[in-house]
Amino acid sequence: MRLIAVTGGIGSGKSVVCEMLRVLGFKVYDCDSEARRLMDSDEGMRSCIYKEVCQEACASDGTIDRKALAAAVFADHSKLERLNSIVHGAVRDDLFAKAVEVQVMFFESAILRSSGFDAFADKVWEVTAPMQLRIERVMLRNGLSESEVKSRIESQIGESLVSRTDTKVIVNDGQSPLIPQVIALLGELL
């Protein structure tokens, strides 16, 4: 089993790269969506979020109010760290359980370093894009204000792994074609 991380800051285009990989027939584990699934299905996680992160994020029907949770954690770094510590272990275990089924598994994570997931990535593909383009993409996609997007970007500072010797960079600047970059990296990998 080989685990290949696809990372990059919010709005860089890592999800676009991962969708290309899926279309090509590769298994891709999306850490964010799987974390949401696990939070929704695990009462123990919700209880920890209620007690240790943000009571307002836990609705009386047992669901997570993601907007309230995001507002709380992106306004208070200590709450973000606590939320991440609650979620990362469950996501890691779930990823490993699914990865044993395939020879190569890609996994998407914006916070590869702070989650500790860089430690078990055999290779890293980092998707990059100019900052202003990233801000515009997220504002359009999520309906957030520029200051909200910048707050999320700031929470990911220090996540870049370009300095790691096995990191391959994919440029998603709206001008450089993505498909040839992905195909070339697959050729190196396989």
Is the pLDDT at 155 greater than 80, yes or no? Answer: no
Average pLDDT, the chain: 90
| Model confidence pLDDT, tens digit, residues 1-43 | 899 999 998 999 999 999 999 999 999 999 999 999 999 888 8
The whole-model pTM stands at: 0.82
If pLDDT is split at 50, 70 and 90, which confidence band does 161 have? Answer: low
CATH number at residue 104: 3.40.50.300
| Over residues 77-83, mean pLDDT | 90
Q: How many domains does the chain have?
A: 1
Rg (CA), the chain: 17
**Domain containing 145: what range?**
2-189
Query: Would you say residue 165 has pLDDT above 80?
Result: no
Tens digit of each residue's pLDDT (9 = 90 or more) over 96-119: 999 998 999 999 998 888 888 999
Residue type, 148: E
Among the ranges given (10-19, 25-34, 62-71, 173-182), the one the predictor scored with the smallest mean pLDDT = 62-71
Distance between CA atoms of 39 and 55, rounded to whole angstroms?
14
How remote is the C-alpha of 67 from its chain's centroid? 17
Q: Which two tokens stand for residue 139?
A: 């504002």
CB–CB of 154/16 below 8 Å?
A: no
SS3 6: strand
